[in-house]
Amino acid sequence: MAHYFMLSNYTEQGIRDVRDSPKRVEAARNLMRAAGGEMRAFYLTMGTYDFIVHSEFPDDAAAARFALSIGALGNVRTTTVKAFSESEFRDIIGSLP
């Protein structure tokens, strides 16, 4: 499965109801599973992003569907970054001409 990091910020709606965030994380975890994915880690962060989620999905389309579904709820805005493991990195570098 492919790895993704979702760099996320609360919207005005999301921060207004911030106390509901733990429930929303659980709902997101269930939505990921329904999309064939898995939440590997959730981190509350300080700085540019409010939280970061490490997830795995079977493909880019599944990750995009999840990100769009979460965004449509109106509580967060996400920037999704696809990540490659060290093993995948080594394979990519090893395949360079």
CATH number, position 19: 3.30.70.920
pLDDT of residue 78: 97
Percent of the chain with pLDDT over 70: 100
Q: Report the distance separating Cα 58 and Cα 73, nearest Å.
A: 23
Q: Is the pTM of this model over 0.85?
A: yes
- Residues 38-82: tens digit of each pLDDT: 999 999 999 999 999 999 999 999 999 999 999 999 999 999 999
Q: Report the distance separating Cα 56 and Cα 3, nearest Å.
A: 5
**8: pLDDT confidence band, cut at 50, 70 and 90?**
very high
Q: 86 to each of 4, 16, 42, 53, 68, how far by Cα in Å? A: 14, 39, 21, 19, 28
The whole-chain average pLDDT of the chain stands at 97
Backbone angles phi, psi at 40, to 5 degrees: -85, -35
Q: Report the distance separating Cα 49 and Cα 71, nearest Å.
A: 15
Query: What domain range includes position 42?
Result: 2-94
Q: How many domains, the chain?
A: 1
pLDDT of residue 79: 97
**Residue 84 CB contacts under 8 Å (≥ 6 apart), including other chains:** 3, 92
Mean pLDDT of 7-16: 97
